[in-house]
Amino acid sequence: MDGATYEKCFATGLLDKVYLVKVPYTMFANKNDTQTFNFLTGLEQKYGQEGLGTREKAAFDKISNLSGGEGHILAQAFDEMKGHQYSNIQQRTKETGDIFESRI
């Protein structure tokens, strides 16, 4: 089981106890992507330091609510947190403006 460990009852063979384990954010970084790994390391260090009711706590709660089938959403969230989504929009806007300038 990812993110959990368990113990079975010796007498019945049924689950007796289940322990949830937090999976480190760094587990979601590609091996060769040191920028994302470093970002996620910083995010991991911040985890648990935020106060209840803060924007940071709400962001961590949203990340935690993503299930295993939503990896693409998690990757997009990390890109947005790193500023890639914003910078890509700015870059595309500049390139579009440059194209218009060159045509005028």
Tell me the sheet residues that pair with 15. Answer: 8
Q: What is the DSSP string of 31-46?
A: TT-HHHHHHHHHHHHH
Q: Per the structure block, which two tokens stand in for 64? A: 């935690």
Tens-binned pLDDT, residue by residue, of the chain (104 aa): 456 788 999 999 999 999 888 778 888 777 888 888 888 888 888 877 777 888 878 877 877 777 666 667 777 777 777 776 555 566 666 666 666 666 65
Contact 26, 41 (CB under 8 A): yes
**C-alpha angle 76-88-98 in degrees, rounded to nearest 5:** 160
Q: What pLDDT score was predicted for residue 104?
A: 57
